[in-house]
Structure 1
């Protein structure tokens, strides 16, 4: 009796894992990677500007920028196009993998919770499913985001490349691991966990907007929409999520910054609040909105169309 009872939870977890594995679709992974890579290549310079503003605490010798346009012009003048694409390699890898894995796990978790039923999930179930997918994705991709931040913050890269601390993505990964260990590769992980709320809120809003719109138009829940409809819903859901969760991105970037040392998340939060007030938690928010909103629109538009194409191709 005791032996059987002890094995039951293990068997149930194994069965659940096998069921979840059966529900994963490579089409979601490929479509997510495609959308993430394309949007990153187009909009990486704005991401670079966002990070430089986010870590600008006014207490260290850093380049001073008067605004987004001045920042872009200064980097272009000093380093050329290469300067605007510092850190693009880990950004492409990170964004591609993150979007791909996020869609991959999210759709599998959502299908698992539906358990073959046609009924749609509630807003809360969408929120929890997206949060779970976000945690798994972050565990895999956090080291890539650390290397991206370090590469983006090499201010003198164009002046004297031989003095750069990191020569590229793989060099940065190895050097961070050699000097700081696994802990170094997972700097910013805790605020990153809070950041899963960003993706969760975004996916919840996106799913609810699609559901309400389909009901309004009297269409099937999974009916294909036109590009403008996808773009509109993606933009609205992204602006909603950014407004609610941006401060964590500032804290995360500062923890990953090689120029300043913090003892932990609360130390970074306290020092930002003490020195800069509420404004400090929203530094870089404008270039972030300008970057992530079109990036989200591109990603979701590519994802919806590529996934639909692959699913139709697979079924034909």
Structure 2
């Protein structure tokens, strides 16, 4: 029997494979619009896949931050969650996580490439190399500013679903209720603390990653980057990503605690949360978050680099001093 639906599905898959193959075979110029959009696609995949995969760990971490009396540790937190909501309860908040971090990843990685290239052009090759750490910091901060505006609504929904019992269990139920009760502000009241959490985190994530990759090729890898296999280069990417993840977790954790509490409450302020929690309180859940963010950051860089390899995007070499600067030295 003829199956039009099955035929259409096969055709769609064929078109999808053809598009990917065309993208891989096409010559993509470094810094072109096509290159930057494909970098955004790599960032989208890296962020949405990793954040969605660790939803259970993130859920327990958030509950430890907003209800430390009941959720005392990672293992006990998992136990309490399963007893209260069953195994399905561990996946609560997956939809806003998936959509929110898809948007955030697209803008974070795509705009980082945009700002890095533009700032390098403004500084010129010698200053761009001499001030490269500052360049990475400023480019990543600029990108994250826009990425968090895209993330904020879904982050607010996710935290409400995960930490407020009886409020709503799905994106479809939570978003209309939040809008009906609190208006548009409900989705953006956490954007300032989100900036406080994400901008330092992203600055450390990108700058630490770039400089760690540079150090690994200089001191730990016996061959120059250009002579290493793709597999070895991806291995360096993963190790550098994990090291960057540990540092950026520590830098951003207090603000992460504030965001979790603030999105759970109505009418709260970041300063009010800080006063109530105190210095020790805002560090609750740090170990869980190091475990989560270290692995997540390493996987994000690995997936992002893997997408670049698969799509045959130009991968600029590790930063090296321009020839005029070498001669002067």
Q: What range describes the TM-score normalised by the shorter chain of this pair?
A: 0.7 to 0.9
Q: Tell me the secondary structure at the aligned position of residue 183 of structure 2.
A: helix
Q: Does 1:74 align with 2:80?
A: yes
Equivalent residue for 1:176, pick from 178, 181, 193 = 178
CA 1:142–1:41 in 2, change beyond 3 Å: closer, same or farther? closer
Aligned-residue offset at 1:96:
2.3
State the Cα distance separating 1:220 from its structure 2 match.
5.2
Aligned to 2:210: 207
Aligned with 1:144 (options 135, 151, 154): 154
| 1:242 equivalent in alignment to 2:249 | yes
Return closer, same or farther for 1:244/1:167 CA change in 2, 3 Å cut-off. closer
Tell me the equivalent position of 1:47: 58
Change (3 A) 1:222 1:76: farther
Tell me by how many angstroms 1:56 deviates: 2.0
Shift of the 170–21 alpha-carbon distance from structure 1 to 2, 3 Å rule, reads: farther
CA distance in 2, matches of 1:138, 1:219: 36
1:23 deviates by 7.8
Q: Which residue of 2 aligns with 1:83?
A: 89
* Counterpart-to-counterpart distance in 2, 1:222 and 1:75: 49
* 1:270 maps to 2:275: yes
Q: Secondary structure at the match of 1:115?
A: helix
Q: How far did residue 237 of structure 1 move?
A: 0.7
Q: From the superposition, tell whether residues 65 and 194 of structure 1 become closer, same or farther in structure 2 (CA, over 3 Å).
A: closer
Instruction: Measure the CA separation in 2 of the matches of 1:215 and 1:27.
Output: 29
Partners of 1:38 and 1:184 in 2: how far apart?
Answer: 26
What do residues 165-194 of structure 1 show as CA deviations (whole Å, max 9, x unaligned)? 225213322221222122211122111111
Q: Which moved more, 1:285-294 or 1:125-134?
A: 285-294
Matches within 5 A, 1:116-131: 120=129, 122-131=132-141
- Provide the secondary structure at the position in 1 that maps to 2:262: helix
- Offset at 1:129? 0.5
Distance in 2, Cα, partners of 1:299 & 1:103:
10
Contact 1:50 1:288 (C-alpha < 8 Å) held by counterparts: yes
CA-to-aligned-CA distance 1:293-313 (integer Å, 9 cap, x gap): 111111111110112222449
Q: Structure 2: how far apart are the matches of 1:286 and 1:186?
A: 28
Matched residue of 2:200: which SS? Answer: helix
Structure 1 residues 222, 256: CA separation in 2 closer, same or farther (over 3 Å shift)? farther
- Extract unaligned runs of 5+ from structure 1: 1-19, 59-63, 156-163
- Please list every run of 5 or more consecutive structure 2 residues that lacks an aligned counterpart in the other structure: 1-30, 315-329
Aligned residue pair count: 275
**1:187 corresponds to:** 189
* 1:5 paired residue number: none
Higher relative contact order, chain-length normalized (CA < 8 Å, sep 6+): 1
Q: Distance in 2 between matches of 1:140 and 1:221?
A: 36
Q: Is the 8 A contact 1:23 1:111 kept in 2?
A: no
TM-score scaled by structure 2?
A: 0.76
Q: 1:167 to 1:79 in 2, by over 3 A?
A: closer
Q: Superposition RMSD on alpha carbons, in Å?
A: 2.5
Looking at structure 2, the residues matched to 23 and 198 of structure 1 have their Cα atoms a distance apart, in angstroms, of: 28
Cα distance change, pair 95–222 in 1 and its aligned pair in 2 (3 A): farther
Q: 1:57 to 1:261 in 2, by over 3 A?
A: farther
